[in-house]
Amino acid sequence: MTRLSQSVDRATALLDGADLSADATVRELLTETTQRRGLDLSDLAPAEQAALIAARSQELQPSADALAERIIAADTKGRRFVAKFGIDPTGAEVHLGHSVPMLILSRFQRMGHQVVFIVGDMTAKIGDPSGRSDDRPALTDEDIARNLATYRQQVTPFFDFDRAQFRHNGDWLRQIPLPKIIEIISQIPASMPLQREDFRKRLDAGQGLSLAELMYSVVMALDSVETNCDLEVGGIDQFLNMQMCRKVMDVSGQTPELVVATSLIEGTDGTGVKMSKSKGNYVPLTAPAGEIFGKIMSVPDRLVGPYFRALSEWLDSELSITTARVEAGTLHPMDLKKILAGEVTAAVHGVDAAMKAREEFVARFSKRTFGEVENLPTIAGLGQPVTEIVKSLGFAKSNGEVRRVAQQNGLRLVVESEGDQEQVMLSPDETREQLATLVRDKLDGSTGVFYLKVGRKLARIVTSA
């Protein structure tokens, strides 16, 4: 059994039946999944490594099988497999959108491969034209130096730079003579960069398109030539740029790199556009723990699944458990979102800071009593078994469904008094008992308003005076 499968088994045991609204459970879960971000993956076979990478790739060119074969080939030749990622310092902050491909790159490092993190201090002078509708304002050397000053520190949570390379592409791009550039571009058809839809749109609209922008992907490709990398990771918006990298490596006499393109995550504003600094809908890695937690909690519920897939080390098998529990009513969507917010916060600041941010968020925003909920159904006849009462309320269709909710800690007696709340879980066996008996035995001496909670559904219990 691999170290990853052991971690998944431990997390699954919590996800499958534990109370995921409880702080103690959430802390245990976050501790497990956060430790997984640094987990040694070198015991995975090449095919397993490729499958793990493919599972979070929107595009893997040419294929997962080719990735496994390339890993094996590097090992056979007695060299390390090389994976790279590049980022231009067009702003001072690295944000969560950048962390999606970085998370994939960190997996390669933990698999035992050589990782190269490249800061494009030279390519930033051109500016990546991907997705642009106009010319990008030119950056001065001072702008670039100021922006990249803290990049290494910001991305340190994702990499061990005692083993990974952190390089500036200006170190080699400034040394390439003009004849070499001409030799390369003479073998690249002009139609190749003009395949880009964003370029065609700008030309059709009569907007400017500089030769420098046409050259951007060629200059970026020289990073791949310099590192002679086996694979490059980037967002799907970089896919065409990475195709140029493959082409330039080929004309330079190297084996073209493999390409892993990750999905772009939507910004926190929920408008459908990608997370970006220019839109202001981003979460910077420099933000304090409380701000990261709060910004994740602000995203629309429909983004919880995509954010989990993009920003966490959870596997699909684990995500399917939480999806099933939300659908069954044994896990509230808000509790799942809090776990996501904790997961992302812990990745940058650690579990203790994430749990403190969670506590502060709940204290500020989530304090609500069931007494504030309007139009609740009521339970007046307490002499029936819990299963019959739940079915009569329409909260479940069968005795078995009621028992399954109880098995997942979703069946509870609740008492509220003067803002305080106490919840008592009912076991599957107790679903056969009369509700009156359970209220008497489990809430004896309690005063206040009583409720029966079935997953996310709630009913008020009417007791005699």
**Tens of pLDDT along 74-109?**
999 999 999 999 998 888 889 999 999 999 999 999
**Cβ 336 vs Cβ 322: under 8 Å:** yes
3-state helix, strand, coil in the chain (%, to 5): 50, 15, 35
For residue 429, tell me if it sits in a domain: yes
Cα separation, 271 vs 265, in Å, equals 12
**Cβ 354 vs Cβ 346: under 8 Å:** yes
Question: In this structure, are 227 and 357 located in the same domain?
Answer: no
What pLDDT is stored for residue 216 in this prediction? Answer: 87
Band of residue 137 on the pLDDT scale cut at 50, 70, 90: low
| Segments forming the whole domain that contains residue 409 | 378-461
pLDDT at 48 over 70: yes
Band of residue 30 on the pLDDT scale cut at 50, 70, 90: very high
What pLDDT is stored for residue 355 in this prediction? Answer: 97
The number of C-alpha atoms within 13 Å of 461 and in the hemisphere containing its C-beta is: 28
Cα separation, 336 vs 322, in Å, equals 8
pLDDT at 339 over 70: yes
Ordered alpha helix ranges (H), 55-93:
64-76
For residue 144, tell me if it sits in a domain: yes
Question: In this structure, are 386 and 237 located in the same domain?
Answer: no
What pLDDT is stored for residue 446 in this prediction? Answer: 77
**Cβ 262 vs Cβ 232: under 8 Å:** no
Last residue of some domain: 354, 372, 390?
372
Count structural domains, the chain. 3
Question: In this structure, are 433 and 457 located in the same domain?
Answer: yes
Of the given ranges (164-168, 230-234, 270-274, 314-318), which has the lowest mean pLDDT?
270-274
Chain mean position to CA 440:
46
Summarize the confidence of residues 337-362 as an average pLDDT.
Answer: 95
For residue 318, tell me if it sits in a domain: yes
More confident residue, 52 or 361: 52
Summarize the confidence of residues 2-27 as an average pLDDT.
Answer: 95
Q: Per the structure block, which two tokens stand in for 121?
A: 């201090």
What pLDDT is stored for residue 165 in this prediction? Answer: 95
Band of residue 368 on the pLDDT scale cut at 50, 70, 90: low
Question: In this structure, are 130 and 240 located in the same domain?
Answer: yes
Question: In this structure, are 242 and 121 located in the same domain?
Answer: yes
Question: In this structure, are 243 and 314 located in the same domain?
Answer: no
What pLDDT is stored for residue 366 in this prediction? Answer: 60
What are the beta bridge partners of residue 168?
Answer: 119
What pLDDT is stored for residue 127 in this prediction? Answer: 74
Which of 257-261, 367-371, 432-436 is the most confident on average? Answer: 257-261
Cα separation, 64 vs 411, in Å, equals 44
Q: Say which CATH number the domain at 158 has.
A: 3.40.50.620
For residue 5, tell me if it sits in a domain: no
Q: Per the structure block, which two tokens stand in for 257?
A: 């790199």
Summarize the confidence of residues 426-430 as an average pLDDT.
Answer: 91
Of the given ranges (43-57, 122-136, 157-171, 218-232), which has the lowest mean pLDDT?
122-136
For residue 390, tell me if it sits in a domain: yes
Question: In this structure, are 398 and 320 located in the same domain?
Answer: no
Band of residue 442 on the pLDDT scale cut at 50, 70, 90: confident
Of 365, 411, 409, 413, whose CA–CA distance to 387 is shortest?
A: 411
Question: In this structure, are 54 and 181 located in the same domain?
Answer: yes
Of the given ranges (43-47, 272-276, 294-298, 365-369), which has the lowest mean pLDDT?
365-369
Summarize the confidence of residues 290-315 as an average pLDDT.
Answer: 94
Band of residue 464 on the pLDDT scale cut at 50, 70, 90: low
Last residue of some domain: 337, 372, 407?
372
For residue 31, tell me if it sits in a domain: no
DSSP assignment of 181-201: HHHHHTTS-TTTGGG-HHHHH
Ordered alpha helix ranges (H), 379-427:
386-393, 399-407
59-61, strands of its sheet edge to edge: 59-61, 258-262, 231-235, 82-87, 114-119, 165-168
Q: Per the structure block, which two tokens stand in for 208?
A: 């400017």
Q: Say which CATH number the domain at 399 has.
A: 3.10.290
What pLDDT is stored for residue 397 in this prediction? Answer: 85
What pLDDT is stored for residue 387 in this prediction? Answer: 92
More confident residue, 272 or 319: 319
For residue 30, tell me if it sits in a domain: no
Tens of pLDDT, residues 375-424: 788 888 888 899 999 999 888 888 988 988 888 778 988 888 876 778 88
Question: In this structure, are 172 and 228 located in the same domain?
Answer: yes
Chain mean position to CA 168:
27
Cα separation, 28 vs 38, in Å, equals 16
Give the rounded percent of residues in the chain with a pLDDT score beyond 90.
60
Tens of pLDDT, residues 194-251: 777 777 787 777 777 778 888 889 999 999 999 999 999 999 999 999 999 999 999 9
Question: In this structure, are 348 and 426 located in the same domain?
Answer: no
Question: In this structure, are 204 and 318 located in the same domain?
Answer: no
Question: In this structure, are 311 and 414 located in the same domain?
Answer: no
More confident residue, 148 or 351: 351
Q: Per the structure block, which two tokens stand in for 244?
A: 């140029």
Last residue of some domain: 262, 280, 300?
262
What pLDDT is stored for residue 367 in this prediction? Answer: 56
